[in-house]
Amino acid sequence: MGCSTTPRKEGISTSTIPEQPGVLVVKRHHLLVRWSHWLNVPILLGLSLSGISIYWSSPIYQHTPDPLTGNFDVAADIGIWICAHVPGLHHYNSPPDWIYSHMSLGPGMLAPALRIHWLCAYSFMLNGAMYVAGLIAGGGWRGLLPRRTDLPDAFRMIRYYMGFPLAKLGRRQWPHPCFNTKYNALQRAAYFSVPLAGCLSVATGWAIHKPMQFHSLAAIFGGFDAARVWHFWLMWVFILFVVPHVILVFADGWDTFRGMITGWSSRVNRSEVTTNEQ
């Protein structure tokens, strides 16, 4: 959101001022958007955990078998490296399985993992439809559209984030760039890209799941094996989005978190009130 917040009642026309001082609140998220947002938590978790279980049965990234261990899986190599270098893991009983044991549903779970993956995939598609319906009903889709000023605004935000820790350490003022839009350029890029990644995940998922029926779809992604690579890295797009998203929400404070539960925020931008008066 923008940089300035108003003290209560500032900028409100006299006709709207009640006798008792109130809290100025602004509607942030439509009910369907909030529902779909929170439903994404178990759905994406289920998709990732079951997806890695499925990956385990046939890893995409392989190398020639190690002459000593016979290992050919890059993820197993990473597990071996983690167990060798992370304190406390030196005695882990099966280092090649470390990644899978900690990031999937567990060993011997291919059949349940496939079923759970499909359940979550159908839920993900329905949830995506609900999100789109919420964006349309609440008009929130306009806030996600890219703008011509996005590139310079994105650089301003990057500069702000990069300078923020140093400014904190040096106890200097480091003002947040001002924007008159719901989201800043970086947020908009992220919130616009994630639904696109969702669509691509669904498309690559269908290409993998039904390669006979959707062979044309698989061909668009470069074939069945390439569609698996796309699908795998799209999972990482979600993970790389979710981690900073959660960190920034906690850094931003209770109001942002509450806004996604109640739909309302008490952090009101001065320009929003002024515009509502017009």
Partner 1 sequence: MNNKPRGLFGERPPPTFEVDPKVWRRRTRRDVVLFGTGTVAALASARSFLPNVNRIDDEVAETLYSPRRTVPTYAKSQITPLKITTTELLPILGIFPDGV
Contact call for residue 94 and partner 1 (CB under 8 A): no
Write the single-letter amino acid at 44.
L
Return the number of the residue (93 or 278) whose C-beta is nearest partner 1. Answer: 278
Contact call for residue 273 and partner 1 (CB under 8 A): yes
CB-CB neighbours of 103 under 10 Å? 17
Return the number of the residue (18 or 70) whose C-beta is nearest partner 1. Answer: 18
Q: What DSSP element (H or E) covers 265?
A: strand 264-265
CB of 129 to partner 1, least distance (A): 15
Q: Segment contacting partner 1 (CB under 8 A): 14-22, 77-85, 95-103, 236-244?
A: 14-22
Contact call for residue 13 and partner 1 (CB under 8 A): no
Q: Segment contacting partner 1 (CB under 8 A): 102-110, 111-119, 151-159, 168-176?
A: 111-119
CB of 201 to partner 1, least distance (A): 16
Question: CB of 39 within 8 A of CB of 127?
Answer: yes
Contact call for residue 213 and partner 1 (CB under 8 A): yes
By CB under 8 A, how many residues form the interface with partner 1? 45
Bridge-partner residues for 5, per DSSP? Answer: 269
CA proximity to 188, closest of 230, 159, 160, 151: 151
> What values do phi and psi take at 18, rounded to 5?
-80, 170
CB-CB neighbours of 184 under 10 Å? 22
Q: Which listed residue (89, 129, 137, 145) binds partner 1 by CB under 8 A?
A: 145
